Structure 1
Amino acid sequence: MKILVSIGLSVILLFSSLGSQGFTYAKSKTEKKDAAEQMKSAFVIEKETGKVLFTKDSNKELPPASMTKIMTLLLIFKGLDRHDFSLKDKVSVSEHAASMGGSQVFLEPGETMTVDEMLKAITIASANDASVAMAEYIAGSEKDFVNRMNKEAKKLGLKHTHFKNPTGLPVDGHYSSAHDMAIMAKALLDHEKVLGYTSRYEDYLREDTENKFWLVNTNKLIKTYPGVDGLKTGFTNEAKYCLTATATRNNMRIIAVVMGAQTPKDRNKKMAQLLDQAFANYKTKKLINKNHTVKIVNISKSEKQNVPVVTQKPVVLLLKKSDSGKNVKKRMVIKKHLQAPLKAGTVVGYYELRKNNKVLAKTPLVINQDIKEASWWQLFKQSMGKIVH
């Protein structure tokens, strides 16, 4: 009899235990948020038009972790374009640069690498030591480079960004937002050579030495999502998992930012969803190429009175997939009373695409050459020519 009671009690306890576990499981499943939504902010734009396709708390100031290196890379590529230095230039590593923790390629004090090799380390391996080495090489010190980063942020109109270092290593007062990261990425992507680095899944440093170092891209979407060719991941305990990604499909480039995801899987899942939505719902139509002459203007007091005005970027129309693009009106707005001197790249107007009195796209128009001020003799000859004519 005691045995039967014992067995009965065991069965009751077993079912009670199973019931308790089943309830707990059901409760956790109910309370559990969608993993893909467990992010602090997100922002999606089309690259050429800058049109916002998705936003979630995009101005929230958050630690950007290694996405900070987007600004570091922007200053490097601007320096390359100005010919301040070249990809072949040698960069010597200081003790300070070599001491950086976190992601690194274990540079040694006194070691030298080319700018090209440093770019590989930064873009593929997110190397903090290489980032600081380049900052010191460009500006003389990390502090002066950070000042340049903040000046560039102001120049881009970023209102929710402040940098304290070129790496993204945690420090109070170092923050950005999903919106601002997308604008930085847009500016960086104007330097198309960066994609030659960010699109590589793997590469090597010190390849011809005994210290050969294998680089593997921290952005796994390079391999798993068709069209992704950049741009920068980020992680710290404070920032959680972040990613600024860019992808192309059917000649349309999307930039998307996710900040504060709980796991790398959550981050990549949400990023894929954002890119899928953008490509599924939108298309672009290029109307005019970059550097295309759209008008000849008269520049007063200049050596050359008739100067070509060109598109700074391609004129692109962003449309929903269901939109044919009919009834879109085009017009140019050129500044009046242009006067020399003017530097190449000076914005002198805009090429606008409008529909129902709403501006759909606004492409800057620029002078593509330096316009010098004419001498008094040249001005005299020009005025005499007008009289004779």
Structure 2
Amino acid sequence: MKVSAALLAMLLVVATFVPTFASANEIKSDIVEESSSAILIERDTGAVLYEKDSDKKLPPASMTKIMTMVLIMEAIESGKVKLDDKIRTSEYAASMGGSQIFLEAGEEMTADDMLKGIAIASGNDASVAMAEAIAGSEKAFVQMMNDKAKEMGLKDTNFVNPTGLPAKDHYSTSHDMAMMARELLKYDLITKYTGKYEDYLREDTDKKFWLVNTNKLVKFYQGVDGLKTGFTNEAKYCLTATAKRDDMRVVAVVMGAPSPKKRNAEVTKLFDYAFSQYTTNKLFDRNHVVKEVEINKGDRATMEVVTSEQVSVLMKKGSKDEKITTSIKMNENLQTPIKEGDPVGVLTVKVDGKVTATSPVLSSQSIDQASWWQLMKRTVGQFAKASDGVK
């Protein structure tokens, strides 16, 4: 499907729509005191519940791997990479310092185990091995990372590597990290990795390797199941964390905390604030069929339209009943071929007439251009049906 410049611009607006749900005077200013930057959002709506210098460019350290995992999950969902695929470790990948799972040059490990090594133990070697497997080289993968950031409308992020190791011009913001986390959390599978406190690699060998999650809140805060810590001397202590209770999932980011204890304490306060003050009403799961539309010249007469993510309404606890409405606007002049997963419209959620969230809707199947014979059969069928109606 051809995407016009106007449509692309519209999709960027949709992808980056982040309403501020609470005004500054509603929130205690002392939630985050010592970290350089912070933000708290509700995942489904993207509503900002708290922020402190959230557009300040800072080194993200290993939180960089959130974008690395976004691209890995895209590759898995598209079928380009399968979890049981064997990923070979290059000499370059094995040479990575910092956090690692001690891959040896030439060693093969499944994508499933590589993802464990990245999500749980923050393995720099596993990150580069996966980057090379997906893009052919680390450099090409970094270009994919920056292209994805631009596609998401993230203007204050630039990647130089897929690991977060210190590098000139490698930076992001707490706002942009929250948006990356929001994108990653579209994939339900990811929290099965980031939510594990411990696991093992090479379990049936004499090189059994114990993984312990660098995000201690996974064990010590109810509902936390991700996402990624970060630390370098320059970045100090960073954390992008997510927690879910009932149907409400929130994301908190702190950057530049002076210690891991302070980092965890400030994220905990952000979560406490969110769960004590807000609740959500889930409207649709991801991939929920919300509409069926006719495709005039497709090899299918109709197309099912599905949600691209879970869609919810955020509400302040104790607020009055509100009128919730949803609407779908299809893109004009849809033309075949349409690929499964192509954006074909926008779903809008309104509460008491005010837009609270927008989200792309997707084609649930691929539709090619119809043959002359298919169009003829369809025309004859429609004519016969109309003739039956006038008898």
1:143 Cα deviation from its structure 2 partner:
1.3
Please say if residues 257 and 271 of structure 1, whose CA atoms lie closer than 8 Å, have aligned partners that are also in contact.
yes
Please say if residues 330 and 346 of structure 2, whose CA atoms lie closer than 8 Å, have aligned partners that are also in contact.
yes
Runs (5+) with no aligned partner, structure 2: 1-29, 387-391
**Which whole-Å deviations, capped at 9, do the CAs of 1:59-82 have from their partners, x for residues lacking one?**
111100000111111111211112
**AA matched with 2:133:** Y
Structure of greater Rg: 1
Paired residues in the alignment total: 357
Please say if residues 314 and 363 of structure 1, whose CA atoms lie closer than 8 Å, have aligned partners that are also in contact.
no
Which residue does the alignment assign to 1:120?
Answer: 116
Which residue does the alignment assign to 1:278?
Answer: 274
Q: Which has the higher helix share?
A: 1
1:104 to 68, 75, 100: 100
Equivalent residue of 1:332, what SS? Answer: strand
Name the CA distance, whole Å, in 2 between partners of 1:101 and 1:79.
Answer: 26
Name the CA distance, whole Å, in 2 between partners of 1:289 and 1:72.
Answer: 25
1:300 Cα deviation from its structure 2 partner:
2.3
> Quick one: structure 1 residues 142 and 351, their matched pair in 2 at CA, closer, same or farther if it must change by over 3 Å?
closer
Name the CA distance, whole Å, in 2 between partners of 1:212 and 1:308.
Answer: 47
Pairing of 1:37-76 with structure 2 (within 5 A)? 37-76=33-72
**AA matched with 1:153:** A
1:200 Cα deviation from its structure 2 partner:
1.1
Normalised TM-score (structure 2): 0.86
1:154 Cα deviation from its structure 2 partner:
1.3
**Which whole-Å deviations, capped at 9, do the CAs of 1:70-101 have from their partners, x for residues lacking one?**
11111112111122222222222222222211
1:385 Cα deviation from its structure 2 partner:
4.4
2:373 to 372, 377, 382: 377
Name the CA distance, whole Å, in 2 between partners of 1:336 and 1:347.
Answer: 12
Normalised TM-score (structure 1): 0.86
Within the alignment, does 1:342 sit opposite 2:338 as a pair? Answer: yes
> Quick one: structure 1 residues 254 and 133, their matched pair in 2 at CA, closer, same or farther if it must change by over 3 Å?
same
Which residue does the alignment assign to 1:352?
Answer: 348
Name the CA distance, whole Å, in 2 between partners of 1:341 and 1:60.
Answer: 42
**AA matched with 1:270:** E
Name the CA distance, whole Å, in 2 between partners of 1:35 and 1:363.
Answer: 30
1:183 to 179, 190, 194: 179
**Which whole-Å deviations, capped at 9, do the CAs of 1:145-195 have from their partners, x for residues lacking one?**
111111111122111111111110101110111111111111111121111
Within the alignment, does 1:174 sit opposite 2:138 as a pair? Answer: no
> Quick one: structure 1 residues 231 and 375, their matched pair in 2 at CA, closer, same or farther if it must change by over 3 Å?
same
1:223 to 219, 223, 226: 219
> Quick one: structure 1 residues 290 and 198, their matched pair in 2 at CA, closer, same or farther if it must change by over 3 Å?
closer
Name the CA distance, whole Å, in 2 between partners of 1:324 and 1:46.
Answer: 20
1:35 Cα deviation from its structure 2 partner:
9.8
> Quick one: structure 1 residues 311 and 107, their matched pair in 2 at CA, closer, same or farther if it must change by over 3 Å?
closer
Which residue does the alignment assign to 2:247?
Answer: 251
Equivalent residue of 2:262, what SS? Answer: helix
Equivalent residue of 1:303, what SS? Answer: coil
**AA matched with 1:243:** L
Q: Which has the higher contact order (CA 8 A, sep 6+)?
A: 2
Please say if residues 124 and 216 of structure 1, whose CA atoms lie closer than 8 Å, have aligned partners that are also in contact.
yes
> Quick one: structure 1 residues 323 and 386, their matched pair in 2 at CA, closer, same or farther if it must change by over 3 Å?
same
Which residue does the alignment assign to 1:200?
Answer: 196
1:106 Cα deviation from its structure 2 partner:
2.1
